[in-house]
Amino acid sequence: MNRHLTHILSALALSLATATVWADNNRGADNNASANNTTTYYINAPRFVRPILSQWISDYEQSHGGVRFAIAKTAETRQNSALDILTSESEPTSRSHKTFVARYAILPAVAKGSVAEQIVRKHNLNSKRIKALFFLKDDISENEPEPDGTDKAARQLTVYSAMSANSITAAFARFYSEDAGSYRGKKIAGDDAFLNQALAKDTKGITVNAVSNLFDIDSRQPVNGISVVAVDKDGQEAVSNLDKLLTALQSGSNNKDVDIEKIGFGYQDNKDLSDFVNWVATNGSRYTQRFGFLPVK
What does the pLDDT profile of the chain (297 residues) look like in tens digits? 455 544 444 444 444 343 333 344 445 566 544 445 789 999 999 999 999 999 999 999 999 988 999 999 999 999 999 999 999 998 878 899 999 999 999 999 999 999 999 988 887 778 888 888 899 875 444 444 554 556 676 678 999 999 987 889 999 999 999 988 999 999 999 889 899 999 999 999 999 999 999 999 999 999 999 999 988 765 667 888 999 999 989 887 667 889 999 999 999 999 999 999 999 999 999 999 999 999 998
Overall pTM > 0.85: no
In angstroms, the CA 236 to CA 254 distance is 12
> What are the two backbone dihedrals, phi and then psi, of residue 202, each rounded to the nearest 5 degrees?
-140, 110
Per the document, the length of the chain is: 297
Half-sphere exposure of 102 (CA within 13 A, CB side): 28
**pLDDT value of residue 11:** 47
Going 281 to 252 to 134 to 114, the CA torsion angle's sign is: negative
In angstroms, the CA 133 to CA 105 distance is 19
Instruction: State how far Cα 32 lies from the chain centre.
Output: 30
Name the residue among 253, 247, 226, 227 with its Cα closest to residue 289. Answer: 247
Instruction: State how far Cα 284 lies from the chain centre.
Output: 16
Q: Residue 137, SS3? A: coil
Q: Residue 215, SS3? A: strand
In contact, 47 and 17? CB cutoff 8 Å: no
In contact, 88 and 186? CB cutoff 8 Å: no
Position 146, amino acid: E
In angstroms, the CA 25 to CA 107 distance is 38
Between strands 158-162 and 226-228, the pairing is unpaired
Give 230's DSSP letter: P
